[in-house]
Amino acid sequence: MRHSPDTVSCVAAEYMTQETELRLLQAKISAARSLAVLTGAGISADSGVPTFRGTDGLWRNFRAEDLATPEAFERDPRLVWEWYDWRRQVIAGITPNAAHAAVVELERRFPEFWLITQNVDGLHRAAGSQKLSEIHGNIWKVRCTSCEAVEENYTVPIPMLPMCRHCGALLRPHIVWFGESLLPSDLTRCGEVLRSCDLLLVIGTSGVVYPAAGFAAIAKDAGAFVAEINFDSTPQSAAMDLSLKGRAKDVVPLLL
């Protein structure tokens, strides 16, 4: 295929802009004192974890919004557990990628650092991240619907239906579902981090699910420089100080 001169100059201009933006972000990172990172499904997509709103996010034609709700679990706990069991089986065979590793390195370099992830796959912890809030929970934890005991559970496949070993009641995934609130302790921590960081990196999230979708605005209002790294444009792109387009596994390591 041949490109017209116009197409070539557009591609060149886009490349130049991205190159300039990358250098600017590298400089901002060098100058920053306190760094915060917000991640979504896009950072794990490069490891092979299906995103929620991408075409690979469907399971038996259900969307995440159809299954990740307290109502869906009440109506049909087996269906919801089968979906989580499928996701646990997919994630069990997956390892962190270069973007997860780069976030660990950023944590090592910054004395003031905090990672806020919406991902429940546990890949940030598996990569070595320690200063983090998993604000939507963790797919490898279960919680009793009666006594509320929370435990790690790595059994794959998980027996249907899983029951609490303390009180015998039904277990549920320890995940914050649509319509549920984040843990107050996580919300407090995120508020502190967002208001005190001078740079926020927003990596691989569609920015449509609140409260995380409002985190960039909180940091920006408090004076932080906010940069997005995403494969695509998002509803938040226009409000960012800078947007880098690309795969997380390719772009995030360039920030080191």
3-state class of 52 per DSSP?
A: coil
Q: Report, in Å, the least distance between residue 52 CB and ligand APR.
A: 4
Minimum CB distance to ligand APR smaller for 47 or for 82: 47
Q: Report, in Å, the least distance between residue 212 CB and ligand APR.
A: 7
3-state class of 167 per DSSP?
A: coil
Give the position of tokens 């001078």. 198
Strands 150-152 and 137-144: antiparallel
Torsion of CA 121, 36, 248, 173, to 10 degrees: 10
Out of 47, 51, 129, 243, the only residue in the binding site for ligand APR (CB under 6 A) is 51
| Side chain identity, residue 117 | T
Q: Report, in Å, the least distance between residue 205 CB and ligand APR.
A: 3
For residue 209, state whether it binds ligand APR (rule: CB under 6 A). Answer: yes
Catalytic residue from among 124, 136, 166, 174? 136
How far CA 61 is from CA of 58, 111, 232, in Å, comes to 5, 45, 24
For residue 232, state whether it binds ligand APR (rule: CB under 6 A). Answer: yes
For residue 139, state whether it binds ligand APR (rule: CB under 6 A). Answer: no
- Please report the beta strands in 23-103, taking only residues with DSSP state E, as ranges in sequence order: 34-39
Q: Identify residues 78-137 at the interface with ligand APR (CB under 6 A).
A: 118, 136
Catalytic (active site) residue 136: yes
Between CA 140 and CA 152 the distance in angstroms is: 6
Minimum CB distance to ligand APR smaller for 8 or for 14: 14
Out of 129, 133, 230, 243, the only residue in the binding site for ligand APR (CB under 6 A) is 230
Which residue from 53, 49, 176 is spatially nearest to 123, judged by alpha carbons?
A: 49
Out of 28, 35, 47, 52, the only residue in the binding site for ligand APR (CB under 6 A) is 52
- Please report the beta strands in the chain, taking only residues with DSSP state E, as ranges in sequence order: 34-39, 112-117, 132-134, 137-144, 150-152, 171-175, 199-203, 225-230, 242-245
Which residue from 40, 24, 35, 26 is spatially nearest to 194, judged by alpha carbons?
A: 35
Minimum CB distance to ligand APR smaller for 80 or for 164: 80
Q: Report, in Å, the least distance between residue 166 CB and ligand APR.
A: 27
For residue 236, state whether it binds ligand APR (rule: CB under 6 A). Answer: no
Minimum CB distance to ligand APR smaller for 39 or for 164: 39
From 25-33, 42-50, 150-158, 164-172, span contacting ligand APR (CB under 6 A): 42-50
- Closest CB to ligand APR belongs to which residue? 42
Q: What is the strand order of the sheet 150-152 is part of?
A: 150-152, 137-144, 171-175
| Side chain identity, residue 44 | S
Gyration radius of the chain's alpha carbons:
20
Which residues in this chain contact ligand APR in the complex, by CB under 6 A? 40-42, 45-46, 51-54, 57, 64, 118, 136, 204-206, 209, 230-232, 234, 247-248
For the annotated catalytic residues, the residue numbers are 136
